[in-house]
Amino acid sequence: EPEVTQTPSHQVTQMGQEVILRCVPISNHLYFYWYRQILGQKVEFLVSFYNNEISEKSEIFDDQFSVERPDGSNFTLKIRSTKLEDSAMYFCASSVGTPNYGYTFGSGTRLTVV
């Protein structure tokens, strides 16, 4: 069964450092998403991406965040200057189309900011 692949599975970084989280969506999917889940809390929408541009973003997705699809297969989330409160699980997802056909999540990257 096709999977959304995320790397690394765990990233530890110092406060103020930049991090890049990587995702390989399912190959025929056209819509890409990032979500985060602070420990013990609900999954929160960050950003959606379609046709090489952001289609929607939440209040969480401020100027410290950016997304990119650099090479047609990877989908990255960059946090420019990490804060302690950025510590969370970050999930990538992709879907064939909207509304939400074949929506699939990756297994996540645990980001720990120290």
Partner 1 sequence: GENVEQHPSTLSVQEGDSAVIKCTYSDSASNYFPWYKQELGKGPQLIIDIRSNVGEKKDQRIAVTLNKTAKHFSLHITETQPEDSAVYFCAAAGSQGNLIFGKGTKLSVKP
Q: What are the residues binding partner 1 (CB under 8 A)? A: 31, 33, 35, 41-45, 48, 50, 55-56, 58, 91, 95, 98-100, 103-108
60 burial type by CB count under 10 A (0-12 exposed, 13-18 middle, 19+ buried): middle
Rounded to whole angstroms, the Cα distance separating 66 from 47 reads: 9
Q: How far is the CB of 63 from partner 1 (least distance, A)?
A: 19
Residues 6+ apart with CB under 8 A from 28: 96
Q: How far is the CB of 98 from partner 1 (least distance, A)?
A: 4
Nearer to partner 1, 19 or 93 (CB): 93
Rounded to whole angstroms, the Cα distance separating 77 from 65 reads: 7
Residue 48 amino acid letter = S
Nearer to partner 1, 14 or 53 (CB): 53
Q: How far is the CB of 9 from partner 1 (least distance, A)?
A: 9
Nearer to partner 1, 12 or 15 (CB): 12
Nearer to partner 1, 3 or 18 (CB): 3
Q: How far is the CB of 109 from partner 1 (least distance, A)?
A: 10
Residues 87 and 111: beta-carbon distance below 8 Å? yes
